[in-house]
């Protein structure tokens, strides 16, 4: 049976939203994936360079934020969830700063391992008058070696027993290896833990039997093995059910940009389209992290699928209205859901 979004709104009372958000404080999550630092140069443009036809950005301030899997951890921490990161960084000054930033949000660094063969990933964005001018990436993309994979799995096994759920944040940098995916998914199935994956195309054949995958529409086409194109609502439904069946998923949550989200639930063959609630869009950076964070944490805390998707949709609306990677507080979420 299929339902529209309107038929569910009445069940999400202020009391129910408060209960779900409060439940996050007693929830524990593991985040495994590619970690990075997002660096921002903020400034203004008054002239064009005499050296080349490019704008000269007069930098007024510089800031650094947790990125990638570390941004997922920060999102969880802001919600009150106890989060543990399993990842690699470089044995360098940026790795030291990354560990310090994680300590600052109350995330333990026991699962953050130092690599002597790769640097800490830094993504530098130059922003002028709320507009990104250019991005520069400093990174090494390669799969983990056997020693690194063993360290990551040992770290994961240390924390899994006390965790309510796991998020695999795959940015395609090499931390999320085939061995890590298969080992984590198998462990979560055996222990009946909720496991979510933010997908990358190179590993799509390994995403079977997980609790939820949260692709955007382009990634959904890749998962389905069909060329990407604009879809009608009916085509999105068909695409989603094909993915659910092909990958034996419990849930599928497809983000549709300005069209909102589409939730698929296998057990009751439930499809729900949630229209976007974003009033304005400045920056979609980190929006996918926000969606998988809020949805997975709420499911691990006992929410119904629609409730988790409804609140995650509002969280995404808050995120895209701000520049850069940002996290959302429970009070911001409550206010947004009750508007």
The total of other beta-carbon atoms located within 10 Å of residue 142's CB is 10
Mean per-residue pLDDT of the chain:
90
- The per-residue pLDDT for 320 is 74
> Scanning the structure block, which residue is given the tokens 């996918």?
288
Q: Which of 3.40.1190.20, 1.10.357.10, 3.40.30.10, 3.40.50.150 is the CATH number of 5-337?
A: 3.40.1190.20
Q: Are 38 and 123 within 8 A, CB to CB?
A: yes
223-239 tens-digit pLDDT:
999 998 888 889 999 99
241 band by pLDDT with thresholds 50, 70 and 90? very high
Q: Is the pLDDT of residue 16 over 70?
A: yes
Instruction: Quote the pLDDT of residue 1.
Output: 35
Segment among 97-111, 252-266, 308-322 with least mean pLDDT? 308-322
pLDDT of 288: 80
pLDDT at 146: 86
Report the sign of the C-alpha dihedral through residues 142, 146, 152, 153, in that order. Answer: positive
**Per-residue pLDDT at 211:** 97
pLDDT in tens, 255-293: 988 888 999 999 889 999 998 876 555 445 557 888 999
pLDDT tens, 166-189? 999 988 899 998 889 999 999 999
Q: Is the pLDDT of residue 126 over 50?
A: yes
pTM tops 0.75: yes
How would you classify the pairing of strands 131-138 and 165-169?
unpaired
Catalytic residue among 170, 198, 283, 289: 289
Q: Where are the alpha helices (DSSP H) in 174-328?
A: 178-191, 217-224, 233-247, 287-300, 305-319
Residue 334 burial by Cβ neighbours in a 10 Å radius (0-12, 13-18, 19+)? middle
Domain assignments of the chain as residue spans, ordered by start: 5-337
- Among this protein's residues, is 289 annotated catalytic? yes
- pLDDT in the model for residue 198: 86
């Amino acid at each position: 049976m299929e339902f529209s979004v309107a038929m569910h709104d009445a069940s999400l009372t202020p009391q129910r939203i408060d209960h779900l958000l409060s439940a996050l404080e007693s929830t524990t999550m593991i985040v495994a994936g590619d970690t990075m630092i997002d660096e921002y140069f903020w400034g203004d443009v008054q002239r064009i360079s005499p050296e080349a036809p490019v704008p000269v950005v007069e930098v007024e301030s510089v800031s650094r934020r947790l990125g990638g899997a570390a941004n997922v951890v920060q999102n969880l921490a802001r919600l009150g969830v106890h989060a543990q990161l399993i990842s690699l960084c470089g044995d360098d000054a940026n790795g030291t700063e990354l560990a310090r930033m994680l300590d600052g949000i109350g995330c333990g660094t026991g699962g953050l391992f130092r690599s002597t063969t790769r640097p800490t990933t830094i993504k530098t964005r130059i922003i002028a008058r709320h507009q990104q001018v250019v991005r520069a990436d400093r990174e090494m993309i390669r799969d983990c070696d056997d020693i690194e994979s063993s360290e990551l799995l040992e770290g994961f096994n240390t924390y899994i027993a006390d965790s309510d759920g796991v998020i695999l944040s795959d940015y395609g940098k090499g931390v999320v290896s085939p061995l890590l995916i298969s080992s984590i998914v198998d462990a979560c199935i055996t222990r009946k833990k909720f496991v979510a994956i933010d997908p990358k195309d190179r590993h799509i054949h390994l995403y079977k039997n997980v609790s939820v995958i949260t692709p955007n529409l382009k990634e959904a086409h890749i998962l389905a093995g069909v060329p990407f194109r604009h879809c009608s609502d009916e085509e999105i439904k068909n695409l989603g059910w094909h993915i659910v069946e092909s990958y034996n998923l419990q849930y599928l949550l497809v983000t549709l940009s300005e069209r909102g989200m589409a939730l698929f639930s296998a057990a009751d063959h439930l499809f729900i389209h949630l229209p976007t609630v974003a009033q304005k869009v400045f920056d979609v950076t980190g929006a996918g992290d926000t969606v998988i964070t809020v949805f997975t944490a709420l499911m691990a805390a006992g929410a119904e699928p629609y409730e988790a998707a409804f609140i995650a949709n509002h969280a995404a609306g808050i995120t895209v209205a701000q520049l850069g990677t940002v996290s959302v507080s429970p009070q911001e979420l409550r206010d947004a859901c009750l508007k």
